Amino acid sequence: MSAPEIKKSILDHLTYSIGRPPSLASKQDYYKALALTVRDRLQQHWVETVQAYLEQDLKVACYLSAEFLMGPHLGNNLLNLGIENEVRQAVKEMGCELDELLAEEEEPGLGNGGLGRLAACYMDSLATLERLALGYGIRYEFGIFDQEIRDGWQCEITDKWLRSGNPWEIAKPEITYYVNFGGHTEYYRDEAGAERIRWVPDRAVKGMAYDTPIQGYRVNTCNTLRLWSAEACESFDFQAFNTGDYYGAVDDKVISETITKVLYPNDEPEIGKRLRLLQQYFFVSCSLQDMLRLLDAQGQPTQRFPEKFAVQLNDTHPSIGVAELMRLLVDERRLSWEDAWDITVLTFGYTNHTLLPEALETWPLPLFRELLPRHLEIIYEINARFLASVRETHHQDDEHVKRLSLIDENGEKRIRMAHLACVGSHAINGVAALHSELLKRSVLKDFYELWPERFNNKTNGVTPRRFMALANPKLSELITRTIGDGWITHTEELRMLEPFSEDAAFRKEWRLVKQSNKQQLADYILKQTGIELDPSWMFDVQVKRIHEYKRQHLNILHVITLYNRLKRDPKLAIAPRAFIFGGKAAPGYFIAKRIIKLINAVGEVVNNDPDVNKKLRVAFVPNFNVQNGQLIYPAADLSEQISMAGKEASGTGNMKFTLNGALTIGTLDGANVEIRDEVGEENFFLFGLTTEETLRLQQQGYRPYAYVEGNSELAEAIRLIASGHFSHGDTEVFRPLVDNLCQSDPFLVFADYADYIACQDKVAGVWKDPENWTRMSILNTARAGKFSSDRAIREYCDEIWDVRPVPIMIKDKT
């Protein structure tokens, strides 16, 4: 792949694929021609990877996820293919800047936050580690909304990411499956006279595959991300189901095309909408049918399913797969229940992502019966056998059996999807050490007591390719120049940086890189918001979905506290800080939207007050996503990981910051615990109650207002918000927020306030000594190797999936 070859290919694609002469081609046209050029290179690896699968008897990891938050593909593919310099040269000769073309790509935002981004990092690691893998998900026509900030409020704009086409995907009209809904079930006798059950659905939808290549870093493995899009069935397909009702058919056409229309923008608590269940069943059914087709194509017997596929459930969203695989095996392939069940349990693994009881997915039984009558019967049968075995072998009392049941009988009956996932999986994991321990003691306690051997931990990770090599080229260059480039695939080699933390010249270079990244972010923020930030200030950053449990409001209380100190004494010597926030709120999350408004309101007052704006600034970066995340993580000095202990399952933003040399201020929550263990407690700013302490406090009867009465700075901050100081005298706008905190404060913001402020004062003290700060920063990067998604994926492959590396050879086509 030389620059002239690339140039020729781009020009060919302009002419033959896009149909535009170079003289008339826009930046978007050039971007597309370049993307197609790169895709051609991937295609060769892709074909060979599929070939290896077809020719050898290999096992594939199938990652089922309702979300894949991939981020832009072009830059990542150039990095992984190792052709960035050649491409830069080629496009330059055509009068383009590569960076401009990279900016043309619409981000495929097919996820809400951490969970979807985890799936994307795992796809990158699977390919890089040369493991055969298929990512299965949904091709939402509209991904996560674009966020605009108007008058300080979040506005949601439809994400029309496909409006200019998507050069990375290949539609596969030959890979389609029917997915049924509704209707009823009936008994019949098969040819052998055996009694069987038939599902007579009243609607069908067709799912079509769209494949995107997932290229590993500097290897030949190129895996597939297969996303399903719903299409209306042709009219004669409806005949097959005997609807015979024209208007009904038209109605169904509308319904079917709606299924993959839009991603539900809720992070954490599920909203339990009917269409959401349709989406889940739709993509899971297509995916499992696809695996069975692949098995058949290889001439393999159904019994070998678990030897050929390891299916991981990314949270409970795909957990209907347990019932669907049973249906496919028992009803369609006519296996015995017992054989089908053995296959199912050997096939599935379940990853839990939440400890919030309100976020555990359940579906009302009537809704389930209406949409998936056969699956309801199967779930009843699974449940009956499961509970019988529990009674028999574990002599459990009725209360215990009720708690384990797949059906919640308290009030309106509901199906507990986490229970279905646990019963149907041979492995159950949490996503950080603390989270996996808490699971055993809280939401999955009863299952842990039943099957302790199924429980394990897989601490999350992030890909060092996208979040270091691509996002932070200057730091990567410095690291590679110092210790070689092995760290990109073996992040434990970052340890070799440790001695350089004592090298003043190296520290200076490290600081210059950070400075330059901060300048770049400051330029971006100025352009997006009009707010000017000084890159010599501390960049104190909190970017993540807006959630009460993540406590962005605790952060803003610190800003108000500093503001008050400066107003009292404008000459007070405080380390100048830029507070940078970013994140989307679910459109229906009232309090979260008000937290965004509060951040912007405080920012407006702080940034425009000459008494304070020479030492404090606040910026809210609109539309936090993977693309601007790649600018933000490398530019942070301080990473805010301040969730209430016991609430954040793992976090992955925390890892991206640490790998890029930010110091963390954080609670003992999620993977923060392990980050602190790795980087050393002396290089981590710890504050706040532990999980045990939060539980004890809440048991004793938490009275948030007592903390206000006992802390004059907190009282002053709350009083100021309530008085309308940040809202042009409006005392109503933040009342719901203030009342919520003063009266219930479910996430203990007030209880942790004093310790947080004290810890922030300590941060400010350390910042005053740049040499020491830099030393700590280097050690954070050097010791963060554990948080690579390569480590996590190795553990999944070795301990749950039994998927081995398969080097792919590129055969010479001549």
Ligand X SMILES: *Cc1c(COP(=O)(O)O)cnc(C)c1O
Task: List residues with catalytic annotation.
Answer: 353, 544-545, 550, 652, 656
**Nearer to ligand X by C-beta: 320 or 462?**
462
Nearest approach in angstroms of CB 656 to ligand X is 6
**Nearer to ligand X by C-beta: 134 or 655?**
655
Q: Which of residues 745-784 bind ligand X (CB under 6 A)?
A: none
Query: Number of residues in contact with ligand X, rule: CB under 6 A?
Result: 13
- 622 lies in the binding site for ligand X (CB under 6 A): no
Give the Cα separation of 686 and 667 in Å (integer). 6
Give the Cα separation of 294 and 281 in Å (integer). 20
Q: Are 507 and 491 in contact (CB under 8 A)?
A: no
Residue 169's contacts (CB-CB under 8 Å, 6 or more residues apart) are 139, 210, 211, 212, 227
**Nearer to ligand X by C-beta: 113 or 704?**
113
Q: Binding segment for ligand X among 364-372, 420-428, 648-656, 755-763 (CB under 6 A)?
A: 648-656
Give the Cα separation of 490 and 506 in Å (integer). 22
Q: Binding segment for ligand X among 146-154, 594-602, 625-633, 734-742 (CB under 6 A)?
A: 625-633
Q: According to CB under 6 A, which one of 292, 444, 556, 626 is a site residue for ligand X?
A: 626
Q: Binding segment for ligand X among 208-216, 411-419, 611-619, 646-654 (CB under 6 A)?
A: 646-654
Q: Binding segment for ligand X among 319-327, 329-337, 596-604, 620-628 (CB under 6 A)?
A: 620-628
Buried b (16+ CB within 10 A) or exposed e, 250-280: eebbebbeebbebbbbbbbebeeeeebbbbb
Chain-centroid distance of CA 66 in Å reads 10
Residue 576's contacts (CB-CB under 8 Å, 6 or more residues apart) are 534, 536, 537, 538, 614, 615, 616
- The DSSP-derived string for 164-179 is T--TT-EEEEEEEEEE
Strand order in the sheet with 455-457: 170-181, 203-215, 222-231, 133-138, 60-64, 309-314, 348-351, 427-430, 455-457
Read off φ and ψ for residue 552, nearest 5 degrees: -60, -30
Give the Cα separation of 731 and 722 in Å (integer). 6
Nearest approach in angstroms of CB 438 to ligand X is 17
**Nearer to ligand X by C-beta: 199 or 624?**
624
**Nearer to ligand X by C-beta: 425 or 664?**
664
Nearest approach in angstroms of CB 124 to ligand X is 13
**Nearer to ligand X by C-beta: 652 or 780?**
652
Residue 800's contacts (CB-CB under 8 Å, 6 or more residues apart) are 310, 312, 349, 427, 429, 456, 458
Closest-approach residue to ligand X (CB): 653
151 phi-psi bin (left φ>0, alpha ψ -120 to 50, beta other): left
Q: According to CB under 6 A, which one of 137, 321, 424, 651 is a site residue for ligand X?
A: 651
- The DSSP-derived string for 633-664 is GGG-SEEEE-PPTTT-S--SHHHHHHHTT-EE
Nearest approach in angstroms of CB 652 to ligand X is 4
Residue 465: both structure tokens together: 């390719």
Give the Cα separation of 572 and 570 in Å (integer). 5
Q: According to CB under 6 A, which one of 318, 653, 704, 785 is a site residue for ligand X?
A: 653
**Nearer to ligand X by C-beta: 375 or 656?**
656
Q: According to CB under 6 A, which one of 13, 45, 59, 117 is a site residue for ligand X?
A: 117
Q: Binding segment for ligand X among 174-182, 489-497, 621-629, 701-709 (CB under 6 A)?
A: 621-629
What character string, x for contact with ligand X (CB under 6 A) and - otherwise, covers 65-104?
A: ----------------------------------------
**Nearer to ligand X by C-beta: 463 or 691?**
463
Q: Binding segment for ligand X among 111-119, 207-215, 348-356, 374-382 (CB under 6 A)?
A: 111-119
- 113 lies in the binding site for ligand X (CB under 6 A): yes
How many C-beta neighbours within 10 Å does residue 329 have? 24
Q: According to CB under 6 A, which one of 72, 75, 108, 114 is a site residue for ligand X?
A: 114
Read off φ and ψ for residue 614, nearest 5 degrees: -90, -5
Q: Binding segment for ligand X among 360-368, 649-657, 702-710, 774-782 (CB under 6 A)?
A: 649-657
- 629 lies in the binding site for ligand X (CB under 6 A): yes
**Nearer to ligand X by C-beta: 117 or 465?**
117
Nearest approach in angstroms of CB 115 to ligand X is 8
Nearest approach in angstroms of CB 119 to ligand X is 12
Read off φ and ψ for residue 639, nearest 5 degrees: -105, 125
Q: According to CB under 6 A, which one of 128, 266, 285, 652 is a site residue for ligand X?
A: 652
Nearest approach in angstroms of CB 46 to ligand X is 26
Please measure the distance between the N-terminal and C-terminal CA atoms of the chain and give it in whole angstroms: 17
Strand, coil or helix: 715: helix
Q: Are 212 and 242 in contact (CB under 8 A)?
A: no
**Nearer to ligand X by C-beta: 70 or 387?**
70
Please report, as a single letter, which amino acid is at residue 109.
G
Q: Which of residues 516-575 bind ligand X (CB under 6 A)?
A: 544-545
Q: Which of residues 782-811 bind ligand X (CB under 6 A)?
A: none
Strands 638-641 and 663-666: parallel
Give the binding site for ligand X (CB under 6 A). 113-114, 117, 544-545, 624-626, 629, 651-653, 656
